[in-house]
Copies of this chain bind each other. A is one copy, B any other.
Amino acid sequence: MTQNRRAIHDTLNAFVPGDDTWLPGGDGPLAGLTFASKDIFDVVGKVTGGGNPAWAATHPPAEANAWVVQQLLDAGAELAGKTITDELTRGIFGENVHYGTPTNPRAPGRVPGGSSSGSASAVAGELVDFALGSDTGGSVRVPASFCGLYGLRPTHGRIPRGGMLLQAPSYDTIGWFARDPDTFQRVGRVLLASDSEPALPTHLIIAEDAFELAEPETRAALTAAVQGLESMFQAVTTERLSATSLTDWSNQQQILQSREAWEAVREWIDRVNPAFSFEVSDRYVTARSVTDEQVASAQLRREDIVARMNEVFQGGNKVMCLPTTISPAPPRGQPVSLRHEVRLRNSALTSIAGNTGRPQISLPLTQVNGLPVGLSLLGDRGADEALIALARKIG
């Protein structure tokens, strides 16, 4: 790392403190590109820390690279280091009480978004060309929106999760960030293992109730951005997704995701009594109280949501646009109670793709008062390449 990069490095606090992970690049389609990896992906010989010191202290070094890390190395990319994540990926703001909050280079004094906070910070701060993240409830899309980056939540199940610290398996996906759509697509061809040139969507759906969730200035800025895109499509229609409220959809995800997240760590928590931020413990304690009846009911509702979205996308090569987040990045250090409210409001947007396993890409097309905020495109399952190609065409 050059002297200049080291200085930026120290300013950003994007990488895990004390981490010395580095693996060389080589020949291949990603030759010459550097990347950072969220500290939930195994790197051989290193402990995967998961954003929590107790997790790091109670797990051995990884015996092999995570599938995604190995794919990127095999394609010639250079691994520059491991990035800070919200504790066990439980958060969308990126404020880690143990390792500090990575800087948002595009929005000074604001959170970077999380849980893939350090990855977004490292890319936005130009320390690396791209970075790996994960997205369970918005952890790629939200930091992409807040840091002004391209970021994809792929189709659920599309990218193999071997060697990854899971949070809630029926929602967990692997995504990545880049500053420009060309680099974004180069990485996508490797991670999606696909060189096909997909047919671009011809029909744009505007998710009316999703736009209504955004704060007024954000809604206005994103609506203007959408108007600029309409000429690229043969048809543009407006839909209300939920018969009641999108908050019902996110409440449903909250139940299933919480149950899965608690089951994944309950034995470890009982054994280790880890130090978490109060906010993270609060979410686990709440998760522990989810009942089997709530889970059964939420599973049925999830099927209804999938069916409703299939209905909306029926009969054509469609793509849907929606706000990635309700607003630009909030200030750092807000009270827990306020963050809780803002998180729930953002979840109503992020749970649309989460509940249906659909891919969603956030595009850095818009600013509000100088702060980035993302416009999202959401597609059919398997339409990852089409979303990326569309992002590149919009450019």
Label chain A's interface by main secondary structure: helix
Find out whether the CB atom of A281 lies under 8 angstroms from the CB atom of B273.
no
B contact residues around A98 at 8 Å (CB): 275
Residue A194 at the chain B interface, CB threshold 8 Å: no
CB distance from A76 to the nearest CB of B (A): 40
Which residue of chain B has the shortest Cβ distance to A286 in the bound complex? B285
A271 beta carbon closer than 8 Å to chain B: yes
- Beta-carbon contact of A336 and B95 below 8 Å: no
In Å, the complex CA distance between A214 and B277 comes to 36
The yes or no answer to A97 lying at the interface (CB within 8 A) is: yes
Contact mask for chain A residues 260-281; partner B; CB cutoff 8 A; 1 contact, 0 none = 0000000001110111111101
How far is A281 from B282 in the complex, measured between Cα atoms in Å? 7
Whole-angstrom CA separation of A313 from B36 in the bound complex: 71
**Cα–Cα distance between A335 and B268 once the two chains are bound (Å):** 9
Q: Which residues of chain B come closer than 8 Å to A276, judged between CB atoms?
A: 275-276, 278, 281
Q: For residue A282, which residues in chain B have a CB less than 8 angstroms away from its CB?
A: 281, 285
Say yes or no: is A146 at the interface (Cβ < 8 Å to chain B). Answer: no
In the complex, A284 has a CB within 8 A of chain B: yes
Number of residues on chain A facing chain B (CB within 8 A): 22
Q: Is residue A309 contacting chain B, with contact meaning CB distance below 8 A?
A: no
Contacts of A281 in B (CB 8 A): 276, 278, 281-282, 285
Shortest distance between the CB of A55 and any CB in chain B (Å):
12
The answer, among B97, B269, B286, for a CB contact under 8 Å with A278, is B269
Give 1 or 0 for each of A67-104: 1 = CB within 8 Å of chain B CB. Answer: 00000000000000000000000000001011000000
Contact A97–B54 (Cβ < 8 Å)? yes
User: How far, in Å, is A96 (CB) from chain B's closest CB?
Assistant: 10
Contact A277 B275, CB 8 Å, known A285-B285, A336-B269, A336-B270: yes
Q: Is the CB of A335 within 8 A of B271?
A: yes
A369 at the B interface (CB under 8 A) = no
Bitwise interface map of A from 233 to 268 toward B, beta carbon under 8 Å scored 1, else 0: 000000000000000000000000000000000000
- In the complex, which residues 263-322 of chain A have their Cβ closer than 8 Å to any Cβ of chain B? 269-271, 273-279, 281-282, 284-286
Name A271's closest neighbour in chain B (CB-CB). Answer: B335
Nearest chain B CB to A206's CB is how many angstroms away? 37
A337 beta carbon closer than 8 Å to chain B? yes
Shortest CB–CB separation between residue A274 and chain B, in angstroms? 6
Q: Roughly how many angstroms separate A275 CA and B98 CA in the complex, as a whole number? A: 8
| Contacts from A to B (Cβ < 8 Å) | 54, 95, 97-98, 269-271, 273-279, 281-282, 284-286, 335-337
